[in-house]
Structure 1
Amino acid sequence: MTPHRTRTPAAALLTVAAALALTACGSSSGTSEGGSASEDSPNRTISTAMGDVKVPAAPRRVVVLDTAELDSALTLGVKPVGATHADVASGFLDYLPRDRVAGIADVGAMMTPNLEAVAALRPDLILTSKVRHGDRYAELSRIAPTVMTENTGYPWKENFRVHAAALGRKAEARRTVADYAEHAAEVTEALGGKERAAATEVNMVRFVEGADIRVYGRKNYIGTILADVGLGRPAVVDRAKDGFSYDVSPERIDLADADAVFHSTYGDPEKSKETRTTGSGLWKNMAAVKNGKVFAVDDQLWIQGIGYTAAGKILDELKKDLAP
């Protein structure tokens, strides 16, 4: 992605001010008291992590500042005018269809969005989360109505409903949720039914550059998908701090053993300890390795996507790898 040129503070302020003025010209009032308005009302009120926020009934220029929000928008048939880029070579996560993200303006890195670039797009809605950008809420909400969920990851289904409400796509969201539930049930049956799925213990391991190896617990995005299929989880996952992950060193990787182990890598394989760990005797002696039930998966898809489009692809991979 081509980086934005650095401008003087004065120039940046003028650009933001101009964009704010244009955005304000397109706004209108009139919202149902205490809840969502009808579809043909100029505005609706959305309950967010930062309180109630008025949004356009049919936003046309949406900017998303995280991967989950990008997945949600595209899943619901909304192409944002701008999005932050993930820490990957392609900018936007690779599992997203190239034609669906083509033309979306890059507004900076996920944790440090370029607010000048955001304002220049004249958005009428911004989607993000408090955990990512709560400290910039005042600045963002001066550019456009900003809808923030509290967190990301584990509450992804609840967050999707908030995104759908903000985008005016509740009907599409209901269809998406129903399709996902049907898809998950189909995978469960393909694995031999509920009892056989529950008897198959699965672990998700992530090698992270600059951190310990994570054995994912139940309270995260991938944990919820495994639960939706009804797969069993080894006892080690219940050691996870706050349900998120139980972190281990390469010397304790055998604790991650299960009937099947999926693993991904964030960062350099050497620096994340992936190369060292998967080449060790402890790893090679795990039952999952000996039984050919260890699967390297795409970190962007399994960990970073955090949405229904990603989840559908993960369900397909679970079926392919685990079906008898």
Structure 2
Amino acid sequence: MTLRSSRPRARTFAAASLTAAAALTLAACGSSGSDSGAGSDDSASGSGSPRTVKTAMGDVKLTGTPERVVVLDTAELDSALTLGVKPVGATHADVASGFLGYLPKEQVAGIKDVGRMMTPNLEAVAALKPDLILTSKVRHGDKYAELSKIAPTVMTENTGYPWKENFQVHAEALGKKAEAKMVTDDYARHVTDVTTALGGKEKASATEVNMVRFVEGADIRIYGKKNYIATILADVGLGRPAVTDKAADGFSYDVSPEKIDLADADAIFHATYGDPKKAKETQTTGSGLWKNMDAVKNGKVFAVDDQLWIQGIGYTAADKILSELRTSLTK
């Protein structure tokens, strides 16, 4: 197989966004029911088609393509921008840049900041006169009644691990199912390219990879198999060390700096949330335990951007992560 560079792939993602942006821009209207779930029971899911979106809070009926969308979390912002939809408003992440730094500045320019992710300013949201609000129950389920009075509100149950399913819900709500297929098809091609670059499925599966996150105010996280980044590693076919099976609910196995050697693997990617000293990154990576790990001694430890690898949660982030995986693991 001929390996492709990241540039043609990036253009494909951009083409999907441009196609999405050129779709019909009809106003959305909706109401909520009592059924729960995710996805849609309507066979017609093209741009502008009347549709019933099954959400964590019940059915939401929509007609047309929303023109004024407000997103209240990072995954929803990634989804909208990936599909060529520029929200009129979005909450900001707890980072200096507000919106996550991996997102192109020209795409987020002009988006109204409606407050912190966990505490959105509902008055600011209402002032934007949205015709659709995207978020999740785990983040804002307690605000659903208020939000749904402002505009039809589509909530997925959770965020992170089910990001692919959530993306389809977002695409359905936005009237962008055709564009979503372009995105997922391109992601699948990119995954194949990376696996091939690593020597094929067998060699990839024999390479055990860990993801470690240093978090200010918490223990060090060795990520398990049920989170956003784990799904990307699994798609590429990379192996995971046995320690990942100890992760609580599959999410993470938390350790102190004195047990960091449990994170050893063929390759380690690590990110930091907050101040490196307060997150114990400085202390840990300077320790003998860290320096004596095989991954460290073999030069297979890679510091990565927390905003991209952990907080992004979407196909635009995933595309960039795949490129970085390929570059790091083929050195």
Q: Say whether the fold is shared (TM-score over 0.5).
A: yes
The correspondence for 1:182, drawn from 184, 189, 196, is 189
User: Counterpart of 2:264?
Assistant: 257
TM-score of the two chains, using structure 2 as the length reference? 0.87
Work out the number of aligned pairs and report it.
Answer: 297
Secondary structure of 2:54's counterpart equals: strand
User: Counterpart of 2:302?
Assistant: 295
Secondary structure of 2:261's counterpart equals: helix
Deviation at 1:294, TM superposition (A): 0.3
Aligned partners of 2:277, 2:178: CA distance in 1, in Å?
46
User: Counterpart of 2:321?
Assistant: 314
Aligned partners of 1:269, 1:190: CA distance in 2, in Å?
33
The correspondence for 2:81, drawn from 74, 78, 95, is 74
Pairwise mapping of residues 192-231 of structure 1 onto structure 2 (< 5 A)?
192-231=199-238
User: Counterpart of 2:62?
Assistant: 55
Paired residues of 2:41 and 2:53 also in contact (CA < 8 A): no
User: Counterpart of 2:166?
Assistant: 159
User: Counterpart of 1:11?
Assistant: none
Deviations 1:119-175 (A, max 9, x none): 000000000000000000000000000000000000000000000000000001011
- The 3 A distance-change label for structure 1 pair 120 and 299 is same
User: Counterpart of 1:129?
Assistant: 136
User: Counterpart of 2:20?
Assistant: none
Paired residues of 1:36 and 1:46 also in contact (CA < 8 A): no
Paired residues of 2:225 and 2:250 also in contact (CA < 8 A): yes
Secondary structure of 2:277's counterpart equals: coil
Aligned partners of 1:175, 1:38: CA distance in 2, in Å?
15
Paired residue type of 2:57: M
Secondary structure of 1:112's counterpart equals: coil
Deviation at 1:54, TM superposition (A): 1.7
Paired residue type of 1:64: V
Pairwise mapping of residues 85-124 of structure 1 onto structure 2 (< 5 A)?
85-124=92-131
- The 3 A distance-change label for structure 1 pair 317 and 216 is same
Paired residue type of 2:300: K
TM-score of the two chains, using structure 1 as the length reference? 0.89
The correspondence for 1:280, drawn from 274, 280, 287, is 287
- The 3 A distance-change label for structure 1 pair 42 and 203 is closer
Deviations 1:66-110 (A, max 9, x none): 000000000000000000000111100000000000000000000
Deviation at 1:40, TM superposition (A): 7.1
Deviation at 1:57, TM superposition (A): 1.8
Aligned partners of 2:248, 2:46: CA distance in 1, in Å?
43
Deviation at 1:35, TM superposition (A): 3.0
Q: Which sections of structure 1, spanning at least 5 residues, go unmatched?
A: 1-25
Deviations 1:262-305 (A, max 9, x none): 00000010111100000000000000000000000000000000
- The 3 A distance-change label for structure 1 pair 289 and 28 is closer
Secondary structure of 1:47's counterpart equals: strand
Paired residue type of 2:135: T
Paired residue type of 2:140: H
Aligned partners of 2:267, 2:176: CA distance in 1, in Å?
37
Larger Rg: 1
Aligned partners of 1:298, 1:28: CA distance in 2, in Å?
38
The correspondence for 1:237, drawn from 222, 236, 244, is 244
- The 3 A distance-change label for structure 1 pair 27 and 321 is closer
Paired residues of 2:28 and 2:66 also in contact (CA < 8 A): no
- The 3 A distance-change label for structure 1 pair 276 and 28 is closer
Paired residue type of 1:82: G
Paired residues of 1:28 and 1:43 also in contact (CA < 8 A): no
Q: Which sections of structure 2, spanning at least 5 residues, go unmatched?
A: 1-26, 32-39
